[in-house]
Amino acid sequence: MKTFLFAILIICFVGAQATIPELAQRSSSKNRIVLGFPAKPKQFPWQVSLNGYNSDGNRGICGGSVISPDWILTAAHCVTGKVRMEVLLGSIVRDQPELRLESETFFHHANYKPLLLENDVALIRLPYSINYTENILPIALPPRQFSDELFVNAKAVVSGFGRINDSPGSTVSPTLNWANIRIITNQRCNESYSDEREYEDIYDSTICGVGFDFDNQSTCNGDSGGPLVLRQDNDIPIQIGVVSFVSNYGCASGNPSGYARITKFLDWIEDNSGVTSP
């Protein structure tokens, strides 16, 4: 498919000391998701941070979202090769969670293609049903009536604890950050990546976006698996995407960021977790 996807496999996974390697030429401000804004307490109560551990103890950092008292939604490449997942909930300070849990029950979509990042979604089952608090609340899935909605030109919000720039040696942010994203057509996304792909076009199950306030606002390493959220006309937030990739040219390149399109996975989520869309 696209050469830019190969490098994205390292957006989430980092070394034993959680240092993030330099991206392979093309990838995935002060304490910000790239050119975004610092989050306020309770602003994104569905946001989680994940530490995924390999059998050798190496750790990878990703994001995710609370979709029920029992389930976390994240990206498939965040759980691949992992033997346990640590879930941090309820705080905008990554190392000071309100709740810290561990799970060994997680799985990705059966048709996930790691080299192409197709069907890049996964579920993590929590070890017990959590109690919601003012800092820990679920994000709703998109209604079934939106199954064919493309959301083009809509303003969505992405949040995460990922890197704030492309500088070599930079690490994930200690605090939660967010950015406004303008949804674009897959055709425009294809055109943006015309020199970064080798095989097929952007999949229908992918949603793409560019910075809303600044051209080069984007997600970055450590944000993978996190939620792309849209507020409906009634102001109720719904999750429409899962952070999947950015351009190999860098998080701040101005090229679109890519997300697994949740409307294409509602059946899979319901069949495997019992969580339904409104």
Number of H helices, E strands in the chain: 4, 14
Active-site residue (options: 224, 244, 247, 257): 224
Q: Among 52, 74, 33, 61, which Cα is nearest to 175's?
A: 33
Say whether 77 is catalytic. yes
CA atoms within 13 Å, Cβ hemisphere of 38? 12
d(CA 42, CA 216): 26
- Max alpha carbon distance in the chain (Å)? 48
Determine whether 120 is an active site residue.
yes
Q: Which of 120, 192, 244, 277 is catalytic?
A: 120
Three-state DSSP class for residue 173: coil
Secondary structure of residue 7 in the 3-state scheme: helix
Of the residues 65, 70, 77, 244, which is catalytic?
Answer: 77
Angstrom distance (rounded) from CA 178 to CA 184: 19
Give the residue numbers marked as catalytic: 77, 120, 224
